[in-house]
Amino acid sequence: MSRVSVIVLALGLAASSLALTASAATAPSPAITAAVADSNRPQADKDRDADRKPAEMLAFAGVKAGDKVVDFMPGAGYFTRLFAKAVGPKGRVYSLLPNEIATRSQKAVDGQKALAGDKAYGNIVPLVEPVNALTFPEKVDVVWTSQNYHDVHAFMGAEAAAAVNKAIFNALKPGGVYIVLDHVAEAGSGVRDTNTLHRIDPETVKKEVEAAGFVLEGQDDALHNTADNHTLKVFDPALRGHTDQFVFKFRKPK
Residue 119: pLDDT band with limits 50, 70, 90: confident
% pLDDT > 70, the chain: 90
Each residue's pLDDT tens digit, 139-161: 999 999 999 999 999 999 999 99
Residue 147's region, left for phi above 0, alpha for psi from -120 to 50, else beta, is left
Distance CA 94, CA 151 (A): 19
Q: Where are the alpha helices (DSSP H) in the chain?
A: 3-21, 30-37, 43-46, 49-52, 54-61, 78-87, 99-102, 106-117, 149-156, 158-171, 202-211
For residue 107, the model assigns a pLDDT of 85
For residue 116, the model assigns a pLDDT of 83
**145-158 residues labelled b (16+ CB within 10 A) or e (exposed):** bbbbbbbbbbbbee
pLDDT at residue 5 is higher than 70: no
Rounded to two decimals, the pTM is: 0.89
Q: How far is CA 19 from the centre of its chain?
A: 20
| 132: nearest Cα among 106, 111, 157 | 157
The pLDDT of 56-79, averaged and rounded, is 96
Residue 113: pLDDT band with limits 50, 70, 90: confident
pLDDT at residue 200 is higher than 70: yes
pLDDT at residue 54 is higher than 50: yes
Residue 115: pLDDT band with limits 50, 70, 90: confident
For residue 25, the model assigns a pLDDT of 56
Tell me the sheet residues that pair with 219. Answer: 248
| 150: nearest Cα among 35, 243, 33 | 243
- Residue 235's identity, in one-letter code, is F
Handedness of CA 82, 83, 87, 89 (dihedral sign): negative
The pLDDT of 152-176, averaged and rounded, is 96
For residue 112, the model assigns a pLDDT of 86
Protein fold of 30-252: Rossmann fold (3.40.50)
For residue 114, the model assigns a pLDDT of 86
Element (H, E) at 250: strand 245-251
Handedness of CA 117, 123, 127, 131 (dihedral sign): negative
For residue 108, the model assigns a pLDDT of 85
